[in-house]
Amino acid sequence: MSDISSLGDLTGKRVLVRSDLNVPLDGTTITDDGRIRASVPTIKQLSDAGARVVVTAHLGRPGGSPDPKYSLQPVAARLSELLGRPVAFATDTVGASATETVAALADGEVAVLENVRFNDGETSKDDDVRGSFADQLAQLADAFVSDGFGVVHRKQASVYDVALRLPSAMGGLVAAEVDVLRRLTEHPERPYVVVLGGSKVSDKLGVIDNLIDKADKLLIGGGMVFTFLKAQGHEVGKSLLEDDQLDTCTRYLSEAADRGVEILLPTDVVVDTAFPSGDREPQPSVVPASGIPADALGLDIGPESGEAFAAALRDARTVFWNGPMGVFEVDAFAEGTRAVAQALTEVTSSGGLSVVGGGDSAAAVRKLGFDEAAFGHISTGGGASLEFLEGKELPGIAVLERD
Ligand code: ATP
């Protein structure tokens, strides 16, 4: 694997870094700067090595043309605060402002280019269109460092094509993510428990498919569990249900049984008669998973299940968790997610590897007040980590590892 040292002496070299700075914004206020913080070490490392650091990143989905709502300017300002050094900002990505800003950099200085997705070449499906945009990006630099893990599953100009055009290396953030995900897929220490939740089964089918013969236990909660419960013959009232996935869930249940993989579903569920909304106080009640009333919907795993899930995690040496156990955004339905998060911290403290993957699970951990350091690893890229665990090749990694 080519890390930054493979690029040799960086003094005076222009280094283009693809970071993931896609943070949530409220107007121009950054509401969670986690991704900027995660990007700082590589940028600092390059700057300390005397490189002229040119950061490229996207924000939101502006659709291939400039839209001030998605400007990276506030992000550049926050990056400067976190780095404790000035950060220049180019008002375009590959135009006159970018050229001038990069040309003005002294050794060790940092610039951020405007949102790379303001250019339709970035995400084009046409190799030539993407390629000619990548040519322009490549002209701004002497070397490329890929450090945006959240985008490595995308075949995009600033992730993939530019790496074909410049001496390239993996940044520390991407290298750390890949290292952990390989530990989950190659030789996980056993018992290996996978916890899946979140809203949709269909999003997670690939991971279930791939992990069903790697994991020792699969714990399922969240909105997706109701399709499994229904597949077992239970009525699920008004709970989230994907009818078209019933057969697949039935197949998973029988495959798991054949392979000796234990699938744990909740035995009790916290229900309400309506999905939580601002206008109404939640009225939670706990019912058996086999007895969800017709007018109720399941919004969290129940306390008995929370305990059973925690018990199933107790002796785990490796855990991967993706997707909250309930609608954790509302306190009344957050306890199942809390129980799982707490159990993961205990896996970490007893020397096992606990990995949280997925934007919502990471947000849940923070919202519920857990210390991020209590987990072995919190992945910055939900989609990328799931695709990796599905066994798919990630274009942004493969391009760095080609011979
Ligand atoms: P991301 O896809 O951003 O990486 P993730 O994989 O961690 O996130 P998602 O699949 O997006 O998670 O699902 C998270 C959402 O699922 C949360 O907003 C949560 O409120 C919702 N959710 C959890 N349980 C239920 C439920 N029982 N009914 C409806 N929605 C639920």
What pLDDT, on the 0 to 100 scale, is given for residue 397? 96
Query: Going by CA atoms, what residue is nearest to atom 20 of ligand 1?
Result: 327
Phi, psi of 261 (to 5 degrees): -90, 130
State if pTM tops 0.85. Answer: no
| 40/37 Cα distance (integer angstroms) | 5
Phi, psi of 396 (to 5 degrees): -70, -20
| 303/310 Cα distance (integer angstroms) | 10
What pLDDT, on the 0 to 100 scale, is given for residue 347? 98
Residues 46-76: tens digit of each pLDDT: 999 999 999 999 999 999 999 999 999 999 9
Which residues line the pocket of ligand 1, CB cutoff 6 A? 197-200, 203, 222-223, 240, 298-299, 322-324, 326-327, 329, 358-361, 382
pLDDT at 1 over 80: no
| 48/279 Cα distance (integer angstroms) | 52
Whether residue 354 contacts residue 378, with contact meaning beta carbons closer than 8 Å, is answered with no
Token output for 3: 């890390």
What pLDDT, on the 0 to 100 scale, is given for residue 366? 87
Residues 125-178: tens digit of each pLDDT: 999 999 999 999 999 999 999 999 999 999 999 999 999 999 999 999 999 999
In whole numbers, what is the pLDDT of the chain averaged over residues? Answer: 95
Positive or negative torsion for Cα 245, 250, 253, 256: negative
Token output for 178: 């890949």
Tell me which of 265, 301, 327, 366 to substitute to probe ligand 1's pocket, judged by most ligand atoms within 8 Å of the beta carbon. 327
Of 268, 251, 242, nearest to 208 by C-alpha is 251
Alpha helices in 110-245 (DSSP H): 127-139, 172-185, 201-211, 225-231
Domains identified in the chain and CATH numbers: 4-175 (3.40.50.1260), 188-390 (3.40.50.1260)
CA 106 to centroid of ligand 1, rounded, Å: 45
Positive or negative torsion for Cα 396, 397, 401, 403: negative
User: Among all residues, which ones are annotated catalytic?
Assistant: 35, 200, 359, 383
